[in-house]
Amino acid sequence: MKGHDMVDNVTSIEQRASETRMPSTEPHDCERINDDAWVLPVEVLLDLLNATAREAEMPCDALGATLGDPSSGLRIYVQPGQSDHDLSRLIRKLIGHYLGKPGTGLCVAPAFESDGEFEIISVPGKRAATTEGAAVDAALHTAPDIASLYEGSRWAPLDGRRTDGEVIDALKAITVDRHHGLAEDLPEEAPELPEGIGAAVGFGYDKDGERCPLVFVDPNLPSGLRADLWGFCVALASGGDLGGAEPNVDGIFFVGTQRFPVSGPGAGLLAALTLQRLGRRPGDCGFQLASEPAMSSEQLPDAA
């Protein structure tokens, strides 16, 4: 099953959550996060950020685009002759990186792989420290309710804002009800996860011999981190793109607790959008995978 199918018919699962709706406080509804850069139309992104994109000859033919001094608004310069597809990806890459790690002097260069990916190159330059630069910082986090931009789309919240606990319950239900697997807090009797690891995702077989996911998350983590981690694990278990990452010899993925901004399509972006769909504005959902041999498949509980 493709990763994007995991939230298509989630309404019945949503009924498991409490009827009491409380606003989530982390992060704020109005805060723009860089996964928006990979979902919203490019025209909307440019308008939101008071940004312009124009063609300009690059100092090096290998560079595809660069970001100018943002002190008076974001200025994006792109190498002439780009296809519409590449132009969109170049702009999204720059905006996503800027939202995750603001700075000036950023360039994107076409990578040499055949998939058309781009890599970020940081060139010497410092961020504007003027009051104008501070105003741009403030503008990045004081937009009107970002949820309104998703209204009517497949990623708009299904039923209002929800607490971290309610969203985690809904994510567990997706794994259990849709994928017929296990989704539980890591049991007390289970081997302790290595330092810096917050979850384990593997696959087992049910009584009918069907392959199903097994997801276990450390219940002792802060609720905001735990919600984002659950989102990533459920996206991973449902078939989200891992960018070539491989499990350990026992077929288990170990997920770290350190968060990174989403850098493009994949499991992290799917996690962020799923969390938003379920009623919580996500934090950074780019988690690293590790193949720590601390737990074998025999030590994971059997799928029900």
- Give tens-digit pLDDT for 89-129: 888 888 888 887 655 567 777 765 445 567 777 665 544 44
Query: Rounded CA gap, 143 and 48, in Å?
Result: 8
Strand pairing category for 65-67 and 106-110 = antiparallel
Residues sharing a CB contact under 8 Å with residue 28, sequence separation 6 or more, in sequence order: 141, 281
How does 194-212 read in b/e, with b if 16+ C-beta sit within 10 Å?
Answer: eeebbbbbbbbeeeeeeeb
Q: Tokens 């290595």 — which residue?
A: 194
pLDDT of amino acid 229:
97
pLDDT of residue 144: 52
Average pLDDT of the chain to the nearest whole number = 75
Tell me, what's the pLDDT at 13?
A: 31
CA 112 – CA 104 distance, rounded (Å): 24
Exposure letters 213-222 (e unless 16+ CB within 10 A, then b)? bbbbbbeebe
pLDDT for 145 equals 65
Q: Which of 220, 216, 188, 194 is nearest to 203 (CA)?
A: 216
Domain layout of the chain by residue ranges: 3-28+156-299, 34-143
Q: Are 89 and 112 in contact (CB under 8 A)?
A: no
For the stretch 144-194, pLDDT in tens is 566 778 888 888 888 888 999 999 999 999 999 988 889 999 888 777 788
The predicted pLDDT at position 233 comes to: 95
**What does the pLDDT read at residue 63?**
81
> Residue 165, Cβ neighbours under 10 Å: how many?
14
